[in-house]
Chains A and B, each alone.
Chain A
């Protein structure tokens, strides 16, 4: 069964552009120039029950706008949306009972009062029975380790503490579908790992469907089998994460850090027998070779290079997801 069913969804915004200078500002008082911006451009998407889907894209690619349409906050300009079998905007009050949402950049807890008061209010808002609340929330509170934070006002919590409480607040009614918009933004590694482990657990236990947007691809790697890649409002990739890795690049990356200055021509000369691409690394005297072929080719290349040039450091990497995605954005096409 499809939990999320999106067909040719589109959202347009009118945006005003101001004219320059004082004269322009006066003219803006009477007539304004505006242009129509298409934030989400005819996307179609199906998500099944129990899936964890990573929704990624650059800033302004339309991720948040899509989430806002899927949660019923914004009305689509065109297209169809069915989430949990309902039209999110039209049946808003009924619909939102079946979803949980976390906006990483916005708090949904009441700022001035203790966390447990917020929970108590949300419990009433979602009409959760004492019984359900006690069994379900006790677990959530334990796993997220927020017990000692419950009597503190939200404004006194650190970001990591607050985010764990936000997550718990989104789960008070144990929704079958969870939207997470940048839930790990600004968090340290430990908190991130805690949150990831927790999400995995509820996914396994309750078959909670999770749609996640993030800029931290490690989140996606840790959680999602499936990724949807968005660019300028269009879906440019929708499929398994490992396939993306497989199709985009085969082979490995070797990072060489040389002791002295090395010309690219000399490196190319050395490696002319291999199928290899060189590019300068991020640090001084660092070069990165992307080698196509088997492990044997990699080791032969390395010995060739190291024979000729003194190195201070060498690393072999799989091509990282981050790099793949960077390449996709830069080149705008999908291989394979």
Chain B
């Protein structure tokens, strides 16, 4: 119970920190809207006169793009960069004298960031987008519920990958390249830029074995009702599998990292 109130406090602090820089907040909304707008027109051009592509109609595609970006506002966080920075500046020393689990705290900070964006970016942003473009929002409560379960898993899997990338800084000490590469890989392989069903079959086969589809492709497909019936549950199963599986490398790396921790700068 006491732990819960501590994590609640962490989330609150993250809200305060996000609010401390207002310009970031406003420009964030703008960037997301521009992105969605740009992809909307891009897909309009690609579809041209065709009704469907890769099993999705134009309308589904637009909804897919809008919802994929809005979900990204929730699952996306910079904790990998923060961990890397804290290691490089030697701030982990302070984290290690606190009676909490560093990774759990980082996850909570990520959640704080995500909730902030969900409430203050996504919801107002979604409203604007809904006014501007023809988007098909499901009126089935069931779809919404499944979508929310799914983006919680998106957050977990994405955060886990961020934690792994962050912890690797303990070993590499300089990690910016890897963090950037990870970001591109996630944007590309998670289905944010392009639904996975649009990739060539051989690429799809490879991606089926990677955790990235659990981040963006699955919740977006659930929302646009690209997945139906049993497909939805097997997709959620895939997300659950990755959420559990990724705990193994994280624990493993963390134990080794703590042992050979070197504090930079005295």
Q: Which residues of A contact B (CB under 8 A)?
A: 13, 64, 68, 71-75, 92-94, 96-97, 99, 101, 103, 105-108, 110, 112-113, 117, 120-121, 124-127, 153
Contact = CB atoms under 8 A, between A and B. Distances in A.
Interface stretch (B2-10, B74-82, B182-190, B204-212): B2-10
A93 B93 contact: no
Given A103-B93, A112-B16, A127-B2, 7 more contacts: A71-B97, A73-B97, A74-B261, A93-B101, A96-B98, A125-B98, A153-B20
Interface in B1-49: 2, 5-6, 9-10, 13, 16-17, 20-21
B6 A124 contact: yes
Interface in B92-144: 93-94, 96-101
B99 A125 contact: yes
A117 B12 CA distance: 10
A112 B10 contact: no
A327 B96 CA distance: 37
| Residue of B94, B100, B265, B266 contacting most chain A CB atoms (<10 Å) | B266
A121 B20 contact: no
Contacts of B100: 93, 125
Given A93-B100, A125-B6, A125-B99, A105 B266 contact: yes
Interface of B: 2, 5-6, 9-10, 13, 16-17, 20-21, 90-91, 93-94, 96-101, 258-259, 261-263, 265-266
B17 A112 contact: yes
A120 to B, nearest CB: 7
A72 B97 contact: yes
Contacts of B99: 93-94, 96-97, 125-126
A96 B102 CA distance: 13
What does DSSP make chain A's interface, helix, strand, loop or mixed? mixed
B79 to A, nearest CB: 15
Contacts of B101: 93
Given A68-B93, A112-B20, A121-B10, A13 B262 contact: yes
Nearest to A118: B13
B93 A106 contact: yes
Contacts of B93: 68, 73, 103, 106
28 contacts: A71-B97, A72-B96, A73-B93, A73-B97, A73-B261, A73-B263, A74-B263, A75-B259, A75-B261, A92-B96, A96-B96, A96-B97, A97-B99, A101-B97, A103-B94, A105-B265, A106-B90, A106-B91, A106-B94, A112-B16, A112-B17, A112-B20, A112-B21, A113-B13, A113-B20, A121-B13, A124-B5, A127-B6
A59 to B, nearest CB: 8
Contacts of A92: 96
Contacts of A113: 13, 16-17, 20
A166 B196 CA distance: 51
